[in-house]
Amino acid sequence: MNSVKFGAGLGLAAAFSISAAPALADEGMWTYDNFPLAKVNQDYGLKLDQRWLDRMQGASVRLTTGCSASLVSGTGLVFTNHHCVVECVQDLSSGDKDFVKDGFLTATRDEEKKCPGMQAEILASITDVTKDIQAAGAGKTGQDFVRARETAMAAAEKAGCGDDANVRCQVVSLYRGGQFKLYKYRKYADVRLVFAPEFATAFFGGDPDNFNFPRFNLDVGFVRLYENGKPAVTPTHLSWVSRAPQEGEATFVSGNPGSTNRLMTVSQLETLRDLTIPVGQLQRSEIRGRLAQFGQESAEHKRIATDPLFGIENSFKVFYGQQSALNDKAFMDAKRAQEAELKAKVAADPKLTAEIGDPWGDIAKAQDAYANNYLRYRQIEGGATYSNLYYYAQTLVRAAEERAKPNAERLAEYADTRLPLVEKKVLDAKPVDAELEEVYLAFWLSKTREYLTTDDAAVKTLLGKESPEGLAKRAVAGSKLGDPAARKALWDGGLEAIKASDDPMIQLVLRNEPAARAVRKVWETEVQAPTDSAAGRVARAKFAAYGDAVYPDATFSLRLSYGKVAGWSYRGVTVPATTNFAGLYDRATGAEPYRLAPRWVEAQAKVTPTTVYNFVTTNDIIGGNSGSPVVNAKGEVLGAAFDGNIHSLGGAFGYDGSINRTVVVATSAATEALSKVYGRTALVKELTGK
Amino acid sequence: MNSVKFGAGLGLAAAFSISAAPALADEGMWTYDNFPLAKVNQDYGLKLDQRWLDRMQGASVRLTTGCSASLVSGTGLVFTNHHCVVECVQDLSSGDKDFVKDGFLTATRDEEKKCPGMQAEILASITDVTKDIQAAGAGKTGQDFVRARETAMAAAEKAGCGDDANVRCQVVSLYRGGQFKLYKYRKYADVRLVFAPEFATAFFGGDPDNFNFPRFNLDVGFVRLYENGKPAVTPTHLSWVSRAPQEGEATFVSGNPGSTNRLMTVSQLETLRDLTIPVGQLQRSEIRGRLAQFGQESAEHKRIATDPLFGIENSFKVFYGQQSALNDKAFMDAKRAQEAELKAKVAADPKLTAEIGDPWGDIAKAQDAYANNYLRYRQIEGGATYSNLYYYAQTLVRAAEERAKPNAERLAEYADTRLPLVEKKVLDAKPVDAELEEVYLAFWLSKTREYLTTDDAAVKTLLGKESPEGLAKRAVAGSKLGDPAARKALWDGGLEAIKASDDPMIQLVLRNEPAARAVRKVWETEVQAPTDSAAGRVARAKFAAYGDAVYPDATFSLRLSYGKVAGWSYRGVTVPATTNFAGLYDRATGAEPYRLAPRWVEAQAKVTPTTVYNFVTTNDIIGGNSGSPVVNAKGEVLGAAFDGNIHSLGGAFGYDGSINRTVVVATSAATEALSKVYGRTALVKELTGK
């Protein structure tokens, strides 16, 4: 789940101020090669240096499941959020053993269990490849432009990493195509679960509190990196501290913010506002309702629906906040003014004007193509969101088709450098819940028919004479793709095996494939190519106008943000920076989601009520930063970021340091809980040395 | 259900042109006292006169369930849509007898069954009371303004109808408060179900086709008005014809369009666009998902969820279309231009300016109060949408509180003239499905907590220490309000009985009552009063600028629209005006919702394939018009309106005669089906004389 959770009542308005470049105090998700070290040292009276930065970078972990994390011991122990490992906890559970409900506790290392599909990556180096990528696209348009740049990126990745199975190279587009950097990672494909608390503890207050602060969540999870079947040796790691964070203490968040749209043009924001987000929210709301009801049907249904429902509700809130920001007139007016200012600077520079043309106009034009093709692209090429079986089938079919081509001619996501992770995700064993799969597939088919109509050729091809429910039932019941061996046979068998397969899910995907590829072609030609080309030119204008004291939009690549421990005031209400264990016990009503796990009821007399539980900082983060270490100037980890407050809801589009807050679960709470509630002696010793 | 169904894929853009006043050809939902008779006679080469209008008015029926209908025999037989009687069909069904699935067929009159809560009303006269109502509000503001006008309306209704139990008087606000008219109706409280086809026949193609034309729906229902236990004598009625409608034939739709917002100011439309509709759609999507999944759980769940799910999906599409219209830049620009033109005309007239001030500014200011209070007003005062038990409890509590006050001091909906229908709706026997009630109540409680937060005082009062699910279960299980006798005891017992009641649903409503009344007061003071006052002044500006060649927004009161039988062309595709039975059989796949009812499979050889089934006309209608007779110049009923095409989706805000279409089920199809598929000899004889 690629998301920080953001909180408070949907009724409260979010407030925004939009920074003009350069960034305001505490604003920015900075790349490690452009961190404003001097400014931060001056603002906070610190003496941070490159060594400090290097250590931070070396201890920062990216999880391919969409989260961030940090190394906290020399033997591969990784600290992250519960909600970053809950899918793994779910995968390791069954009807008999519900680790989501009861928590996953290990006493010794041989109890640690591999998380399906999870890979950990640590950034080793950054290299500028901007010229190569931009040169590849120069003079080209449409799909040629897209393919040429993708081919150049794949080549750069190959050149950077070769065939070394221990590293991963990835070209990252920064400033919406203004720069391209090659990020080289040390990778760990064997990641094992060490500790996860009960869902009721990690997500106390559930969806209703998911917008709020004060909060009381042990949103903590531990995994361990393994190499050759043994715990990895990781000399570079952060120091664990058990003391509470101090008000005003400088904090650094090192992690992988997933996606922001702060550099988008106004016409792009309008498309998000009027089309992309609303359609997503409507579909999300409906599947949310289906899962909520599904979970009411039996204890087993509740067990299997809890984790996906949590993910959907979390996304719903994130986008609800984004929509509110975009519906805010003052916000959009500020964006318009900002854009007008930049345009005016360009207009005053004839050479620059000649060089970049009118990228804003080009992007605005591409919005028509976007609007005309979005629903088809979303439904037909996007496929059955949430369904694992569909994902397996689609990936197996595409991978077989693409691997049969030369590397340079493939769809980007199947280039040689990308295949190892694709293969891992498809082949790792993972439970598949047939009943949920049916819900997901029927939902996708029914929405596709609803949005494209019964008479649409692609819909007719998908459904034939079946109903969405009937086809979903048949395809799920008949599919063998839940079995990793069946997937491996098809992966290894390639295109021939795929074509010969009578698996109904494979056949469904094959049937849909021509329409999916057709709309993808239109999308790349009419939307992606002109947008990417123009966005690069907007970035050029921005660099010309403001220099490099700007940070790029988030792209789920490593960033560092700075700030401090601080509460906030809004409309006369002052919110303190920390909560403690006493507050947890006060808030517990006994009814879900305010019901304590039994261990916590039993431990009430043992824990210290004043232990700091959750706290807030001014760091600028967003979804994907979940699990990021919150570190002080000494390199001590004070907690893991797990949420944002209500005012950061619109963080996708802007940041206001006076009220935007990162929500953190404190290491003080984790130490106390591991020791007194869960009795995890070995783990506490590994963390604290005691 | 107060809705015309509107059709075609959600992906297709609706097109709009907005008429400046006076209205374009075929545009308008005209009141019977301002119908442009001369213009229509000239445009269509007809000689319609007042007698013709009187007959149309006398044969037009309003159903209090939110639909329109027409008298088609001298013995009280009423023709309407299946979807206007399906709630009644559902109410008469049980686990053993599913009339929704199998159809409700009577052979003799003693098989006709009373529809709970349904009342039929025929407009007898219209009287202008504008001066009285406006005078009552003059010089007042806030809640005083609202109450004074409501009191004046109640007084006008009382004066018009006295204590005559056979009539109903209703003051209708026209032109958003520009006029007030007293509508006096002959009322029939005993309405019995005569005929309804199978759901699969009435709603063939289901939700996916609910936007489309060509269509193939026998969306037909018959009820009969009863007086003193006998069929009513109704000499004024329309002539039934079994011949097909002719291309170009002039058509008149006489019915009760529910609500349009064509005269709203731009700031009001923006609030709809950014707040009211989005929140409604998100909640609607989620409850839709819950019901869809609920219906998958068992055959009985499917049976009880089918009708409500249909209603929710229908509303979803209507508002999806409205949202698309409001997101359309060209559309909003046109609205802005229109408003600027009217403002300019006012500015050029100093006397008028002095008289009306700046109503647009006043309304814009009220939008802030709207935005600040809407969610609380919606959740706390609005209560548990869809739940019958909550509706009963809320109405019993409010009615008891209000009836204890003098008539002039009551909330408008409990004035003496309104009480008979309130009482009928509360006391009529009607099945209550406990499991569905639980879904509705838990949903409302959970959304209220989500939108207002756990820490909100009203939410705390509602939930106490319970979860939404726990409270819903307890309140539904413990409530006796499903029993009409229990409701009657509380209705008759008044405030004392209510206060003494230990019914958990009554207690829930009582607990919520202070917060509900508080937010209603804020709403009336800060939103309703300034808006109503200003809207009346906008109307005055409009009359001054354009005279009376304008029609008022729809208000679920009787209107007449004119047009003709005609297909349309759009983006190079020409859609013919009619469909026939052959098309139905072509479209049937055998899978829901394209599965024919068994009777239709059996009858295929008997029915004439060329029989016209559904057709389209240029009439300007909207939700609430469902069931309206579509009549030719001779007073022959050609069909019943049941839907709009895709382009009428934004009909709430504008009309474009070149592409907006009314969708009608033809009397030709009804006659053929009644005779050859259903064998309803007596009914056919009553309709056709043969």
User: What per-residue confidence (pLDDT) applies to A10?
Assistant: 52
Q: Note whether B62 and B94 are same-domain residues.
A: yes
CA distances from A186 to A147, A169, A232, A426, A557 (A): 27, 9, 12, 21, 14
Q: A292, B286: Cβ pair inside 8 Å?
A: yes
Q: How far apart are CA A479 and CA A465, in angstroms?
A: 20
Q: What is the dihedral sign for C-alpha A364, A366, A372, A375?
A: negative
Please give the structure tokens belonging to residue B75. 């013995």
Each residue of A386-424: pLDDT tens digit? 999 999 999 999 999 999 999 888 999 999 989 999 999
Distance from the Cα of A208 to chain B's closest Cα (Å) equals 5
DSSP assignment letter at A565: B
Please give the structure tokens belonging to residue B688. 């056709």
Q: A293, B439: Cβ pair inside 8 Å?
A: yes
User: What per-residue confidence (pLDDT) applies to B656?
Assistant: 87
- The terminus-to-terminus CA distance of chain B in angstroms comes to 34
In a domain, B596, yes or no: yes
Q: A469, B592: Cβ pair inside 8 Å?
A: yes
Question: Which residues of chain A have a CB within 8 Å of the CB of B323?
Answer: 278
Reduced to 3 states (helix: H, G, I; strand: E, B; else coil), residue B618 is coil
CA atoms within 13 A on the CB side of A496: 2
Lowest mean pLDDT among A99-108, A567-576, B430-439: A567-576
In a domain, B169, yes or no: no
Please give the structure tokens belonging to residue B656. 């474009």
Burial class of residue A575 in the structure, from the number of CB atoms within 10 Å of its CB (0-12 exposed, 13-18 middle, 19+ buried): middle
Q: Per-residue pLDDT for A12 more than 60? A: no
User: What per-residue confidence (pLDDT) applies to B4?
Assistant: 39
Each residue of B228-238: pLDDT tens digit? 999 999 999 99
Dmax (CA) of chain B = 73
Mutate to test the interface with B, among A290, A306, A452, A459 (most CBs of B within 10 A): A290
Task: Please give the tally of structural domains in chain A.
Answer: 1
Each residue of A139-157: pLDDT tens digit? 999 999 999 999 999 999 9
Q: A592, B467: Cβ pair inside 8 Å?
A: yes
In a domain, B221, yes or no: yes
Question: Which residues of chain A have a CB within 8 Å of the CB of B462?
Answer: none
User: What per-residue confidence (pLDDT) applies to B22?
Assistant: 58
Each residue of B25-82: pLDDT tens digit? 899 999 999 999 999 999 999 999 999 999 999 999 999 989 999 999 999 999 999 9
Q: Per-residue confidence at A22, pLDDT binned at 50, 70, 90?
A: low
Q: Per-residue pLDDT for B2 more than 50? A: no
Q: With beta carbons less than 8 A apart as the criterion, state whether B374 and B367 touch.
A: no
Rg of chain A over Cα atoms, rounded to whole angstroms, equals 25
Closest by alpha carbon to B380, among B464, B449, B455, B290?
B449
Which single residue is written with the structure tokens 């105090």? Answer: A25
Closest by alpha carbon to B662, among B613, B614, B625, B616?
B616
Q: With beta carbons less than 8 A apart as the criterion, state whether A639 and A687 touch.
A: no
In a domain, B129, yes or no: no
Q: Per-residue pLDDT for B24 more than 80? A: no
Tell me the average pLDDT across A111-139. 97
Query: According to DSSP H, which parts of B404-528 are helical?
Result: 419-427, 434-452, 457-463, 468-478, 484-500, 504-523
Please give the structure tokens belonging to residue A60. 């920062």
Q: A452, B296: Cβ pair inside 8 Å?
A: no
Lowest mean pLDDT among A3-12, A177-186, A506-515: A3-12
Least CB-CB distance to A9: which of B287, B452, B591? B452
Each residue of B495-525: pLDDT tens digit? 999 999 999 999 999 999 999 999 999 999 9
Q: Note whether B197 and B86 are same-domain residues.
A: yes
Q: Per-residue pLDDT for B576 more than 60? A: yes
Q: Note whether B229 and B285 are same-domain residues.
A: no
Question: Which residues of chain B have a CB within 8 Å of the CB of A439?
Answer: 293
Which residues lie closer than 8 Å to A39 by C-beta, 6 or more apart?
A: none
Counting every residue written for chain A, the total comes to: 690
ipTM over 0.90: yes
| A633 vs A14: which has the higher pLDDT | A633
Reduced to 3 states (helix: H, G, I; strand: E, B; else coil), residue B631 is strand
In a domain, A298, yes or no: no
User: What per-residue confidence (pLDDT) applies to B540?
Assistant: 93
Closest by alpha carbon to A135, among A155, A111, A107?
A155
| B650 vs B383: which has the higher pLDDT | B383
User: What per-residue confidence (pLDDT) applies to A439?
Assistant: 98
Question: Which residues of chain B have a CB within 8 Å of the CB of A314?
Answer: none
- Cα B228 from chain centroid (whole Å): 28
Tell me the average pLDDT across A590-594. 95
Distance from the Cα of A594 to chain B's closest Cα (Å) equals 9
What mean pLDDT, rounded, does chain B reach?
94
User: What per-residue confidence (pLDDT) applies to B7?
Assistant: 31
Q: How far apart are CA B298 and CA B305, in angstroms?
A: 10
Each residue of B658-668: pLDDT tens digit? 989 999 999 99
Q: With beta carbons less than 8 A apart as the criterion, state whether B556 and B173 touch.
A: no
Q: Note whether B71 and B208 are same-domain residues.
A: yes
Distance from the Cα of B481 to chain A's closest Cα (Å) equals 25
Q: Per-residue pLDDT for A211 more than 50? A: yes
Q: B591, A467: Cβ pair inside 8 Å?
A: yes
User: What per-residue confidence (pLDDT) applies to B21?
Assistant: 53
Q: Note whether B209 and B95 are same-domain residues.
A: yes
Helices A388-403, A504-523: axis angle to 10 degrees equals 70
Each residue of B273-284: pLDDT tens digit? 999 999 999 999
Q: How far apart are CA B660 and CA B16, in angstroms?
A: 9
The residue type at A623: G
Q: Note whether B501 and B406 are same-domain residues.
A: yes
As a dihedral over the C-alpha atoms of residue B478, residue B480, residue B481, residue B487, rounded to 10 degrees, the angle is -150
Which single residue is written with the structure tokens 């990252």? Answer: A172
CA distances from A636 to A626, A666, B62, B375 (A): 18, 12, 74, 44
Tell me the average pLDDT across A637-648. 93
Q: Note whether B276 and B415 are same-domain residues.
A: no
Q: Note whether B660 and B619 are same-domain residues.
A: yes
Helices A434-452, A388-403: axis angle to 10 degrees equals 70
Question: Which residues of chain B have a CB within 8 Å of the CB of A376?
Answer: 11
- The terminus-to-terminus CA distance of chain A in angstroms comes to 34
The residue type at A614: N
Least CB-CB distance to A327: which of B208, B274, B293? B274
Distance from the Cα of B617 to chain A's closest Cα (Å) equals 22
CATH number of the domain that residue A48 is part of: 2.40.10.120
Question: Which residues of chain B have a CB within 8 Å of the CB of A327?
Answer: 274-275
Q: Note whether B197 and B279 are same-domain residues.
A: no
In a domain, B570, yes or no: yes
Q: How far apart are CA B107 and CA A143, in angstroms?
A: 67
Question: Which residues of chain B have a CB within 8 Å of the CB of A207?
Answer: 450
Least CB-CB distance to A282: which of B211, B281, B291? B281
Tell me the average pLDDT across B170-196. 97
Q: Note whether B521 and B555 are same-domain residues.
A: no
- Cα B3 from chain centroid (whole Å): 5
Query: Could you give the percent of chain A with pLDDT greater than 90?
Result: 90
Show the domain range for B310. 263-347
In a domain, B16, yes or no: no
Lowest mean pLDDT among A34-43, B4-13, B648-657: B4-13
Q: How far apart are CA B157 and CA B90, in angstroms?
A: 34
Q: Note whether B106 and B221 are same-domain residues.
A: yes
In a domain, A41, yes or no: yes
CA atoms within 13 A on the CB side of A642: 29
Q: Note whether B472 and B610 are same-domain residues.
A: no
